[in-house]
Amino acid sequence: MSELNHECGVAAVYHLPTGEVSSLCPPQGPEEVSRLMPRMLLDIQNRGQLSAGMTSYNPNRLQLIDTYRELGMVNEAFRLNHRGKAESLMRGYAGRAAIGHVRYATCGADDCSYAQPFERHHLQKHKWFSFAFNGQLANYAQLRDKLLAEDDHHLARATDTEIIMHEISRELSGDRRLPLVDVMRHLATRFDGAYSLAMLNAQGQMLVARDPLGIKPMCYAIEGPLFAAASESVALVNLGFPADAVRSLGPGEAITISDGKIEVERFCDQPRRAHCFFEWIYFSNVASTLDERSVYLSRKTLGEELARLEVASTDENTVVVPVPDTSKAAADAMAFQLGVPSVEGLIRNRYSGRTFIEGSGDRVAKAAAKYTALPEVLAGKRVLLVEDSIVRSTTMRVLISKIREIGHAKEIHVRVACPPIVAPCFYGIDMSTIGELFAPKYYQSEKPSEEIFAEMAQEIGADSVRFLPVESIARAVGKPTDQLCQACITGDYPTPWGQRLYDVALENYEKSSEESAGRTYEAATGNT
């Protein structure tokens, strides 16, 4: 599903000054534990490939916290392919604590000033902080308009990250010295949306928090004096933490580190849960475990659901072909259940990047450059092409054309391990208008019929197309439906501002004005 723009990834690491040294600490010692950050960011590179950066804390330098950020992937940003330059960076930004970020832009421009972490300097150390953020505030426009209406305020960037920075600063203003968990407690009353964040200040205090609904993931682990957190568990397991020591931070919970102590506290009591189901079916690394559910096992179950619902006849000429790479687990499971081979009829150029993480441009040309069809595998075959989702259908059309014209397949039957996407996302996935989506023009609320499936197949050039029903998602993820955010496949949003923005998007769609209106959450006003 290379058409879907990613979210972002957040990481944090801290070696407490206890005198004890963790076995996972780098050879340079606890005061340079920040050297672990590029490795952690590499493991969540799947979440953002536009920019990477980190902030470190070192009480022995003039810049108590110092931030480095650059455009490009982690290898490029941290110059990991150039030993001398990478070593210079690691020495220059060495610290006993660090937060890091990989970004894809769901809001704001593609330039370095939008890269995270965001650092705010101040004369007072407790007001000098840096933070990294994954998610999106659905009430961005409301918060923006309120800020701009007060005094002589000005915002330099069109992004909710800057809004969060100013809202944190507001909590730290004056003579108050609030504990960081109380800062989050206050922010939660004003934020509507999805967020996981890591914050570090010039006193050496750290905060890691997850939104009250648990929309965005956050995992953490502790081994002796070493604490680490990341958007996905794989980044912690690959540092050397035992898998059973890695835990998911609970919705509405925050971890604070202050005066050498680690505490886990709840900052918001919200009985509802709304975990983003896309984390399991696409966004997260297949090796990760989120909220006690394996990403791999979820995708395997999706494939079994596809097999259970399969209606096409199979014979010795039938093959299952995954769209690389996130569809492979589902495709393999589907093929096993059907008793037919799963083959790599499409090869992805792993050096071409992800189509829409590269920014704007000719999407069709970029998609075409990414995949090669193998006629040796596909010629004369009835192909069950497994994809994890169809969002805009650009890539799918290119793939079908390649499989038919270059691969010489006899038939192509598209099987999608996700229900049709009929509504935008306002919580961190870059699909904010209805008009950009493939499915809504065929139907929105009612269940698709055989006639609708036939029309969809004809438009993308397939012999047939099938999607999973909504109820398959909860079974695959292993969570009750009422604990998942499925807004993009149901139109039912877990927050008031999400539902409000959907009403705006529907109105724009009916007026056919979405293209000129831009992203729904950027165009909406605080009075919507």
- The count of residues in the chain is 528
Catalytic residue set: 8
The three-state secondary structure class of 489 is: helix
| Homologous superfamily assigned to 9-271 | Aminohydrolase, N-terminal nucleophile (Ntn) domain (3.60.20.10)
Alpha helices in 206-355 (DSSP H): 234-237, 278, 295-308, 328-338
Summarize pLDDT for 181-191 with one digit per residue, the tens: 999 999 999 99
Query: Taking Cα atoms as reference points, which of 455, 436, 453, 443 lies closest to residue 509?
Result: 436
Peptide bond into 494 cis (omega under 30): no
Contact indicator for 403, 373 with CB cutoff of 8 Å: yes
Q: What are phi and psi of 428, to 5 degrees?
A: 125, 0
Estimate the crossing angle of helix 328-338 against helix 295-308, to 10 degrees.
Answer: 40
Report DSSP letters for 397-449, one per residue.
HHHHHHHHHTS--SEEEEEESS----S---SSSS---STT-SSTTT-SSSPPP
Q: Spell out the residues 6+ positions from residue 450 whose beta carbon is closer than 8 angstroms to its own.
A: none
Neighbours of 308 (CB within 10 A): 12
Alpha helices in 14-139 (DSSP H): 37-43, 74-77, 83-92
The backbone torsions φ and ψ at residue 42, rounded to the nearest 5 degrees and listed phi first, read -60, -35
Paired residues of 371 in beta bridges = 348
The domain made up of 294-523 is a member of CATH 3.40.50.300: no
SS3 per residue for 42-54: HHCHHHCCCEEEE
**Contact criterion met (CB below 8 Å) for 373 and 345:** yes
- Is the CB of residue 218 less than 8 Å from the CB of residue 229? yes
Cα–Cα distance measured from residue 75 to residue 85, given in angstroms and rounded to the nearest whole number: 12
CB 402 within 8 Å of CB 378: no
Question: Radius of gyration over alpha carbons of the chain, in Å?
Answer: 23
The rounded Cα 478 to chain-centroid distance in angstroms is: 20
The 10s digit of each residue's pLDDT in 22-74 is 999 999 999 999 999 999 999 999 999 899 999 999 999 999 999 999 999 99
Q: Which pLDDT does position 356 carry in this prediction?
A: 38
- 88/65 Cα distance (integer angstroms): 17
Residues of the chain with pLDDT under 70: 1-6, 105-110, 352-363, 444-446, 513-528
What three-state secondary structure class fits 166? helix
CA distance 203 to 200: 8
- Per-domain residue ranges of the chain: 9-271, 294-523
Between the alpha carbon of residue 276 and those of residues 271, 294, 389, 512, 519, the distances in Å are: 16, 14, 15, 28, 20
- Determine the Cα angle at 199 with ends 194 and 200, to 5°: 175
SS3 sequence, 198-211? EEEECCCCEEEEEC
Distance between CA atoms of 517 and 438, rounded to whole angstroms? Answer: 19
Burial label, 186 (beta-carbon count in 10 A; 0-12, 13-18, 19+): middle
> How many Å apart are CA 100 and CA 225, to the nearest integer?
19
Tokens encoding 156: 């330099």
> What pLDDT score does 519 carry?
61
Side-chain-side CA neighbours of 365 within 13 Å: the count stands at: 4
Among candidate residues 224, 69, 195, 73, the one with its CA nearest the CA of residue 136: 195
Number of neighbours of residue 453 by Cβ within 10 angstroms: 18
CA distance 51 to 6: 12
Token readout for 73 is 């992937």
Q: Which of 167, 182, 416 is nearest to 302 (CA)?
A: 416
Instruction: Label residue 388 left, alpha or beta by phi (over 0 means left) and psi (-120 to 50 means alpha).
Output: alpha
Q: Residues 295, 288: contact at Cβ < 8 Å?
A: yes
